[in-house]
Structure 1
Amino acid sequence: MSAAEITPVGTQGAAPEHLGGRGSWFKKLPVVHQVRQSVGLQRGMLIAGIVLVAVFVLVAVFAPLIAPYGWSQLRSLDGAFGAQQAPSAEHWFGTTVGGYDVLSRVVWGARTALLVVIVAVVSSIVVGVLLGLVSGYFGGWLDRLLVVVADAIYAFPSLLLAILLAIVISGGQSNMWGGIFAAALSITVVFIPQYFRVVRSEVVRIKGEAFVDSARVLGTGHWRIMTRHVLRNSTRTLPLIVTLNASEAILTLAGLGFLGFGIEPTAAAEWGYDLQRAIADVTSGIWWTSMFPGLAIVFTAMGVTLMGESLNDLADPRLRMRARSSKVSGDVAATSVEKGDVA
C-alpha cells in the first residue's frame, strides 16, 4: 500500500480550513449563524419564532394577493356579504357584525401592524440613539436633564401614555396613513427612553477607553469620534431590543384599537378594533369574529418574543458557553465507551 493511499480516518472529503468549505457564506448569515449556535430547547424556540415572524411578514407584504376582499369591502358581485355569517366556502373565516370578511380583515391587519412596527421602531431608534449619544458623550447639565426626562417617561404607564399621545397626535385623522402614523408615533415616545438609556450607558463606558483618548490626542473632532468610534461600539445590543420592542408595539397597537383609540375601520384593518367589536358576539355563540383576530395577535407577538428572547440568550456569553459545554460533554460521554467494554 502506497503512502498516497493512506488517508486518516474522518478526513475523507473534508475541505481545507482556509477554503471555508462549501456553503460557508450561508452559515455566516445573521439568522443562520444564530440557529447553528443554539442548541436544544433554545434552538426550537428560535426556529419557532423565526417561522412565526416570517409568516407574519409574508402575509403583510403579500396582503393584496392573499386577501380575497378589501379591508372595508361589504359586498361582491353576488351581493352584500351579510353580518355574522358562519365560516363557509365563500368566507373561510366568516363575516363580522359589520358585514366585513374576517379573513380579509385579518390579512390586511397584518400589513397595518407591520407598518406601525416599522415606523415606531425606526423613529424611536433614530431619536433615542441620537439623544443617548449626545447625552453620554458630552455629559453636564444636558445629560442630567435628559436622564430625568427619560426616567419620568419610562416610569409612566406605557399604554396610558400611548392613549394620551394617540388622542393628541391623531387630531381627528381618519385616513389610513394618518391613523398609522398617529399610532406609531404614540408608541415611539414610549420606546425612546429604552434606547436612550442603553446607548447612553454604553457611550459613558466607551468614551473612557484608550482608543477614544488616542483619537482626541490626534486632534480628531468630536463628531468624528462620536460616529466612527463611540457609536459603532455602543449599538451592538440594539437588535435584541428591537425584537422585544416589536412585540410590545404589536400589543400596544392592539390595546389602542381595543380601547377605541386606534385606526378607524374604514381607513385600515386593525386586529384590536375587530376584537373589541366581537366581544358581544361571544355571548351569542358567534366565535369566529373574535377567535381569528385574537389568534393573529397572540401568534405574532409570541413569534417576535420567542425570537427576541432566544437572541438575547445567545448574546449572553455565560449562557452560550454553558450550552456549548453541555453539548460537548454529551458528545464525549456518548463516545467514551467502546464496543466490548463491560461495566
Structure 2
Amino acid sequence: MATAEAAPTTAAPRRKRSWRQLPVIHQLRQSVGLQRGMLVAGLVLMGIFVLTAIFAPLLAPYGYGQLRDENGVFGAQQEPSSEHWLGTTVGGYDVLSRVIYGARTALLVILVAILLSIVVGVLLGLVSGYFGGWADRVLVVICDAIYAFPTLLLAIVVGIAISGGQSDLWGGIFAAAISITVVFIPQYFRVIRAETVRIKAEAFVESARVIGASNWRIMTRHVLRNSTRTLPLIVTLNASEAILTLAGLGFLGFGIQPTAGAEWGYDLNRSLSDVTSGIWWTSVFPGAAIVLTVLGLTLVGESLNDLVDPRLRTRRRAAEGEPSPVGDVAVVPGGTLAAPGGLRGLEPLGDNS
C-alpha cells in the first residue's frame, strides 16, 4: 500500500531589517508636508550642532581659553572684525571659538547624562514593573518625590554636592551630567515600568513562563525590547532639556571654569553687564547657539511624537488629501495603537526560546 510522502515544510525566512526601518529614517519617510519640513529642519540643526562639536578644534580659529596670538593680546570687548569674526568677550576670549567649543561641552554632557539616565532608569523600570511588590511601591514613591522637585533647583543642589559648584572640564561635565541624570531617571522609569506592566500580561510572556523560561530571559528577550520603542522620542526631548539645564547651571555660576572649558551659560552670565553698555555680540551669539540647538532637538522630538501616533498621522494624511494606506493603524490586543511593524520584535515562541 503506497503511503503519501509528506510535503517538506520550510519555515518562512525572517525578513531582514533594512536601514529604511531605522527609527528616524522610518519616520522621515512617513512624514508629509509641513511635518516633513519640521523634521528636516530639526535634523539639519541637530547635524550642524553635532558636526560643530566633533570638529571643534578644526573649526575654531583659537582655543577656548586663548587670550593672545602672535600679534599680542586680543583685548576685551573688541567688536567683530576680520581677526575676530564675532568679537571678544569681557575676559578677552574669542567669542566664535568659545561658541564652537561650547557645542562640544554641551554634546558631552548630553551623551553622559542620557546614557546614565537610560541605563539606570530602564533597569529600575524593568525590574520594578516586572516583579512588583514592595520594591515597586518604594521606587514609585522615590521617583515621584524626585519628579516633584523643580528641575533646575535639584540640579543645582546635586551639582554643589558633587563638585562644590566649580570644577575643571571633565569634573564639570560629570557633575552637570550626574545632576541632570537625577532629574531624568524618573521619566525613563515611569515609561519603562508602565510598558513592562502591560507587556508582562501578554500571551507570549505567559507562554514563555509555561515552557520554563527564566525571569531574566523573559525580561531581556521579550519584555525589554518591546518596552523601549518610545525611547528615541524621549531622548530627543531630554537632550534639549539637558542643554537648558546645563546653561542654567552655568548662568548661575555653577558651571565650568572658563580656562577649563567653554560653556554657553557661563558666557551669558559674564555678558550681562555688556548688554546695558551696548555691547551686544558677547551675549547674542551664545544665546543664539542655545536657542538654535534646543529648537532643532525640539523640532525632531515633536515631529517624532506626532509620527509615532498613528491617529495624528492619519489625520494629517486626510487633511492633505492623501488616502490612508490599509493597515496603517493596527490595534494590538491588550495594548495601544501601533504603526505597522510596531510589534516586529514579537517573534513566534519557537524562535525566542
TM-score, structure 1 normalization? 0.87
Specify which of 137, 143, 146 is matched with residue 130 of structure 2: 137
Q: Distance in 2 between the 1:28 and 1:177 partners?
A: 36
Post-superposition shift, 1:325? Answer: 3.0
Q: Distance in 1 between the 2:321 and 2:273 partners?
A: 56
In structure 1, what is the equivalent of residue 117 of structure 2?
124
1:182-331 to structure 2, matched below 5 A, reads 182-329=175-322
Post-superposition shift, 1:85? Answer: 0.2
Post-superposition shift, 1:28? Answer: 4.3
Partner SS state of residue 50, structure 1 = helix
In structure 2, what is the equivalent of residue 334 of structure 1?
none
C-alpha offsets along residues 67-111 of structure 1, whole Å, 9 cap, x if unaligned? 001110000011000000000000000000000000000000000
Post-superposition shift, 1:250? Answer: 0.3
For 2:141, the aligned partner's letter is V
In structure 2, what is the equivalent of residue 39 of structure 1?
32
Unaligned runs of 5+ in 2: 1-16, 325-353
Structure 1 pair 108/199, CA: closer, same or farther in 2 (3 Å)? same
Partner SS state of residue 95, structure 1 = coil
In structure 2, what is the equivalent of residue 5 of structure 1?
none
TM-score, structure 2 normalization? 0.85
1:108-119 to structure 2, matched below 5 A, reads 108-119=101-112
Q: Distance in 2 between the 1:230 and 1:33 partners?
A: 23
Partner SS state of residue 259, structure 2 = coil
Partner SS state of residue 98, structure 1 = coil
Q: Distance in 1 between the 2:69 and 2:167 partners?
A: 25
Q: Distance in 1 between the 2:153 and 2:229 partners?
A: 31
Unaligned runs of 5+ in 1: 1-23, 332-343
In structure 2, what is the equivalent of residue 337 of structure 1?
none
RMSD between aligned residues: 1.6
Q: Does 1:64 align with 2:47?
A: no
Q: Distance in 1 between the 2:40 and 2:164 partners?
A: 42
In structure 2, what is the equivalent of residue 154 of structure 1?
147
Higher helix share: 1
Specify which of 93, 106, 118 is matched with residue 100 of structure 1: 93
Structure 1 pair 200/30, CA: closer, same or farther in 2 (3 Å)? closer
Partner SS state of residue 269, structure 1 = coil
In structure 1, what is the equivalent of residue 339 of structure 2?
none
For 2:132, the aligned partner's letter is G
Structure 1 pair 136/330, CA: closer, same or farther in 2 (3 Å)? closer
C-alpha offsets along residues 252-302 of structure 1, whole Å, 9 cap, x if unaligned? 000000000111111110000000100100111100000000000000001
Q: Distance in 2 between the 1:329 and 1:168 partners?
A: 56
- Calculate percent identity across the aligned residue pairs: 76
